[in-house]
Structure 1
């Protein structure tokens, strides 16, 4: 879900389905992340991950690192879903990323080994602004 500000709250819109004897109603519900109680989510904090700047390799490390898995099993499924989403985004962005990298090469901008990181930073900045 996309997180947005509503006053001083951080909110997401969640799709809700209410099944009753008389009807099946579907609607969107605004959920304030700051109003959730600790007991609402496994007695812990509400897990969230800002995907704008997450590197897929970082998530793979957490998923595959035994010590992390032992202490945070409840997050592994969450990280796997995030990884799928990020990989899907990266596939959709592949053409634009290639064009940005080509422009850096043609303009001889930055050190050639740093150019992929410059593209990553440009995409992160664009995501944050949009």
Structure 2
């Protein structure tokens, strides 16, 4: 309730930034109402609904984390446009543990070959 009284701009400017691709700027909070135990404890105890298959899809699910990791390319308060070189650098930065062949495959797959230098399509591909 008290956060609702705060200035939204102040909250955004007070965010904690992560320092690496595997770091997160937030973690689940056990509040006793919605989340009653740590997710790790839930998994270990088996205290969750079991089902044979769980399906779903997400679009742009990783974009939230990009501004925390690729801070030189993705500014919070600016429109972002990426050159082809920026796009290639971003793919390599986001997949530091993959081989050059895998990075090249990722770059190939996510390149709009009709417009490989389009700064908006390059941004959206990341």
Larger strand proportion, structure 1 or 2? 1
Higher relative contact order (CA 8 A, sep 6+): 2
Q: Which has the higher helix share?
A: 1
